[in-house]
Every structure is written in structure tokens, then in C-alpha cells.
């Protein structure tokens, strides 16, 4: 799995399945940053937004911190599953 695929999966987790604008995809076009749907911003909890550092200059704008962290967890889980159980 590519990191971009994990990002799309994370975005879909936060998107509203019944959204008429994005139809549960989280973005309305190919460029997910430029076409981020408003349903995603409404569904990301405020406490996840501040978990990345709040007002610091390095903090990502809402809701990208939460989406990025979820994508990293998805990608790591897939990568760890690919590791062999027997190292000998």
C-alpha cells in the first residue's frame, strides 16, 4: 500500500457516507487538499485538532492533523502485517 492510498482511506473514514457533495469520498476532485469536502471538517473532533500542537507554527490546519495521523496508523498497520512471523 502506498502512503497516498492510506491518506484516501483515512479521508473516507472521516467523510459523511450520506454527503451529497462528495458521496462519502471526503473530496470532490482528484486534488484532495483543494477539494476537501466540508463534511470532513465537521466530523473531525476538536480534540484531535489540538492534539497535534494547537497554535504552534508547525501544527497542521484543521482537519489535516487528524487525517494525517490516521493515515500513518493505517499505513503502518499494513506495513507491519507484511513482516514475516519467522525471522530465521
Q: Over the stretch 36-83, which tens digit does the pLDDT of each residue have?
A: 999 999 999 876 444 555 555 467 788 999 999 999 999 998 888 876
All 3 cell numbers of residue 59?
501544527
pLDDT at position 43: 93
pLDDT at position 24: 94
Distances (CA, A) of 76 to 13, 34, 53, 59, 73: 17, 26, 22, 21, 5
Q: What's the pTM value of the predicted model, to 2 decimals?
A: 0.76
All 3 cell numbers of residue 7?
491518506
- CA–CA gap between residue 76 and residue 60 (Å, rounded): 20
25 pLDDT higher than 90: yes
Q: Are 75 and 3 in contact (CB under 8 A)?
A: yes
3-state DSSP assignment of residue 78: helix
Residue with cell 459523511: 16
Paired residues of 36 in beta bridges: 27
Amino acid at each position: 500500500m502506498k502512503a497516498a492510498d492510506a491518506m484516501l482511506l483515512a479521508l473516507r473514514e472521516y467523510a459523511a457516507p450520506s454527503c451529497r457533495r462528495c458521496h462519502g469520498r471526503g473530496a470532490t476532485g482528484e486534488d484532495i487538499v483543494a477539494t476537501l469536502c466540508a463534511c470532513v471538517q465537521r466530523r473531525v473532533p476538536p480534540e484531535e485538532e489540538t492534539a497535534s500542537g494547537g497554535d504552534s507554527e508547525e501544527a497542521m490546519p484543521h482537519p489535516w492533523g487528524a487525517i494525517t495521523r490516521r493515515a500513518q496508523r493505517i499505513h503502518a498497520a499494513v506495513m507491519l502485517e507484511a513482516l514475516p512471523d519467522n525471522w530465521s
